[in-house]
Amino acid sequence: MKMGSKNYLVWINASSLMQKEYVTPRVAAILMLAFCIRLLGIVSRPIWYDESIAILFAEKGFKAMLYGTLAPTGAGSANVHPLGYYTSLWLWMKVFGESLVAARLLSILAALITLYLVYLIAFELMADVKKALISMLIASLSPFLVHYAQEIRMYSLLAMWLMLATYAYLKAVNSGHWKWWLLFSFSAAFAQYTHHLAAFYLIALALWPLIQGDWKSLYRLTVAGVAALIIYAPWAIQLPAQFSKVQNSYWVARPDISKFFTLILVYLTNTPLPAGSVALVLFMVLVIVTIGLVQTIKATRYSASSTGLWLLYVAFAPALLLFLFSQWQPVYIERALLPSGTIFCIWLAWVLTSSYLSTALQRVMVGMLVACSLFGLFQHVMYRDVPYGPFKELAVSLRQRMEIDDVIVHATKMSMLPTLFFDRTLPQEYIDDPAGSGQDTLSLPTQQVLGIRAQSDIESASHGARRVWLVVFQRDLASFEADPNPKSVFQYLNSHYALNSVETWNGLRVFLYMKKQP
């Protein structure tokens, strides 16, 4: 990208220097630091529903996953996600096993590759090894990036592919070589195979040459984009059915303007935060962003460079596009903005090293960045509330106390799937979500692939068993108890069973009911 004073000669000189700086002891040291941070809590951090379904689904193999995703349901396809990540996880687990640590290491590997791409992107933009290293260091300490570097979901892989697309895009615009446009096409297509919402990042990236009036780059980008669409075509034809699934049953609510405040919190600390710290952290986040905005305006006004403006644009334009689209069809989820959050880290490094920033403001900004990172990393390691739970310990305990003809009933799939992951043979059932509701996301074809079947109500789920173990999230308890329907969970159990005991497992409640004698 020809950004103001960064002309082709500068790019050649920077590229020559970069040949000597691809892997240095300092780069390796930051990668090792990042790896150690991303190992924090990798064993102790509980699994949750989305992670458990990723493993349970991926282990079934590609053919089964294809059926569990694309089988028609009458309301669109069975699932809304493409199979890029699940296929990668399936192949990974065939080599390294299905333990939590093994599955999480795939995301960590993708995250480390992303960090190295941060270094390459920052150097390509700023032609300065020190600034590239600072970018990499900020990204390595980002709680947002750390969290999804551990999660057994597609977001770490999504960030990796889109950072590769971004690097290829910058190299292509600056050098004019078609090999970089070809790399952009493949990485953009693979990003779309990983998550549909990659499109919003790619659209934002594609709009920049149009905004700048860079018609030569726009033409080449258009050709590369068409090539990416051809590579993506085998899955693109499935989009209408998958979008119908989103329209008919998807849990995301329509976002409001508060999402932009939440987004900068997510970028700098991740959420949720401890209740007592939200005001302080929000204050620091607003100060950091305000300093950054002022420096970006100054740089744009007083120099020919648009590097800071471009970084700010890529950090927030995809979120704005996603927000606007979600006013029509709500699909706004912050974790899909992980690639933009990665660019945000490079923007912060650019702000810190800007010649317009005084030493005093640098120190204030660094202090607040460190504080935000510590708040976020502490919460990442220590948080145990919904949707997490001690599912492994619960599965072991229930196994030890089960008697013949006992049944375990989960009020929702959110606790059933993680418990199932730790013990596939426990007699467990769960009560289906209301049909057509935002929570009705686990379709019948996907259930069939997983080897489970939702029950319509508590009467069906309990099978008239002598003893029923009911598992409910503490957060949902009040709504279940208040339901007056005679066939609701507690109304039915209290009518036909006697409550024997109640246990608290962090955010879970476990009730043991004994069938009443006639």
The DSSP-derived string for 288-350 is HHHHHHHHHHHHHHHSS--HHHHHHHHHHHHHHHHHHHHTTS----GGGGHHHHHHHHHHHHH
Q: How many domains does the chain have?
A: 2
Domain coverage including residue 418: 391-515
Pairing mode of beta strands 467-473, 497-505: unpaired
Same domain as 406, residue 352: no
Length of the chain: 518
pLDDT value of residue 306: 86
Domain with 399 in it: what CATH number? 3.40.50
CA dihedral 120, 125, 128, 134 (to 10 degrees): -70
Same domain, yes or no: 448 and 423: yes
425 in the same domain as 353 = no
Within a domain: 498: yes
CB of 418 within 8 A of CB of 52? yes
**Residues 51 and 70 reside in one and the same domain:** yes
The H-or-E segment that residue 472 falls in is strand 467-473
Q: Which pLDDT belongs to residue 248? A: 72
Nearest CA to 196 out of 300, 287, 296, 332 is that of 332
Answer yes or no: do 356 and 443 share one domain: no
Domain membership flag for residue 3: no
With respect to residue 2, please indicate whether it lies within any of the assigned structural domains: no
Q: 317 exposed, middle or buried (CB, 10 Å; 0-12, 13-18, 19+)?
A: buried
- Segment 382-414, tens digit of pLDDT: 888 888 999 999 999 999 999 998 999 999 999
Q: Are 456 and 432 in contact (CB under 8 A)?
A: yes
- Is residue 469 situated within a structural domain? yes
Are 445 and 300 in a shared domain? Answer: no
pLDDT value of position 320: 97
Domain closes at, from 382, 411, 440? 382
- Which parts of the chain sit beneath pLDDT 70? 1-21, 23, 249, 304, 436-438
Q: What is the pLDDT of residue 3?
A: 45
One domain for residues 339 and 438: no
Q: What is the pTM of this model?
A: 0.93
The answer to whether residue 148 sits within a structural domain is yes
Same domain for 404 and 297:
no
Check whether residue 473 and residue 499 sit in a common domain. yes
Closest CA relative to residue 195, chosen from 145, 239, 147: 239
CA dist 80 and 100 (Å) reads 24
Instruction: Establish if 313 belongs to a structural domain.
Output: yes
Same domain, 413 and 349: no
Residue 355: the pLDDT is 72
Residue 347 lies in a domain: yes
- Rounded Cα distance between 27 and 33, Å, is 10
401 and 374 inside one domain: no
Give the pair of three-digit tokens for residue 184: 């952009």
Among 363, 382, 401, identify where a domain stops. 382
Distance separating alpha carbons of residues 429 and 456, to the nearest angstrom:
10
In a domain, 193, yes or no: yes
One domain, residues 129 and 255: yes
- Of 336, 352, 382, which residue sits at a domain end? 382
